[in-house]
Amino acid sequence: MKDLDASIRLTAFSFLEDLSLKYGLALPREVLAEGFLFDGKRVPLVNPQGIFKPAVLPEVPISITTVPVIEGKPRPYADETGPDGLILYKYRGEDPMHRDNVGLRLAMQKHIPLIYFYGLIPGKYAAVWPVYIVGDDPKTLTFSVEIGEKQNLIWGKDDMSSTQIAETANRSYTTVSTQRRLHQQSFRMRVIKAYRQCCAICRLRHSELLEAAHILPDSHPKREPWVCNGLSLCKLHHAAYDSQILGIRPDLVIEIRNDILEESDGPMLMYGLKEWHSKKLVVVPHAARLQPRADFLEERYEIFRKTG
């Protein structure tokens, strides 16, 4: 049974590596639901529930899933971050003895690696592996999840050396940094999608040159990971916005800092920045809930105004 379980998981990890080469970070959900063949049997990797064990596996689930953020709607199976930096993953339902919860508890006891699917936008998921269940709290109905290292795959408690146990702090760092990267990628994809794959200022449509700018930055105590705290900007206008060279008023009118307006430095400065002074954003989301919040813009504009 152990050899079968390990063989299927290793095949799944290899399958995800191949998918990542083809699709990049954002994997199509339908491809994950289709899965791969193992000894002639179909092995899907996700289903509508957050905790999933395909029929071919004997006991332990293969994956856990956090669904994408959709503004205005609560997220089932939403992940949170505990004070130790680990992922707090919700039970299936409220019964600690539900078979899915029992399966994750068994994964913890046997230290079996799982796959974590993080929803970036509807239909697109990032795959993170290996992850391990390292804690179980029936009072809060949560498991603690730690992200491991692909090059240091640990399988079974008996395989854990004292050196590996001593690397817990490093794995906690990996967990926190990976979560931050996933959240940022989700924010970027949601913002750029809301702005119809365009720069809000110049309407540039090459997505590889677009970035999601925070109106109130990540370091701000009132920052929000919602589209209404974001702007889809090309790399030039994002850098200008973050450098307080460019400001955006609450009425969506663009301002360029006075010293830049007075400077002469060729066509890039003229057509890339100065041309947009006193013009309104050319692209904003259609849905009102996704449009930049006026109070966020006001607070950010005050920073720009004082700088100028």
pLDDT tens for each residue of 208-253:
999 999 999 866 555 567 899 999 999 999 999 999 999 999 999 9
How many whole angstroms separate alpha carbon 109 and alpha carbon 87? 18
Q: What is the reported pTM?
A: 0.87
Mapped onto helix, strand or coil, the DSSP state of residue 76 is: coil
**Per-residue pLDDT tens over the stretch 62-107:** 999 999 988 777 665 556 778 788 899 999 999 999 999 999 999 9
Residue 168, C-beta contacts closer than 8 angstroms, at least 6 positions apart: 146
Enter the tokens of residue 26.
Answer: 């954002």
Q: Domain map of the chain by residue range?
A: 2-190, 197-307
- How many angstroms separate the CA atoms of 105 and 99, rounded? 10
Question: Alpha-carbon distance 57 to 175, whole Å?
Answer: 26
Cβ atoms within 10 Å of 33's Cβ, excluding its own? 13
- Reduced to 3 states (helix: H, G, I; strand: E, B; else coil), residue 179 is helix
Q: Rg of the Cα trace of the chain?
A: 23
Over residues 128-168, the pLDDT tens digits come to: 999 999 999 999 999 999 999 887 777 775 444 444 444 55
pLDDT of 190 > 60? The answer is yes
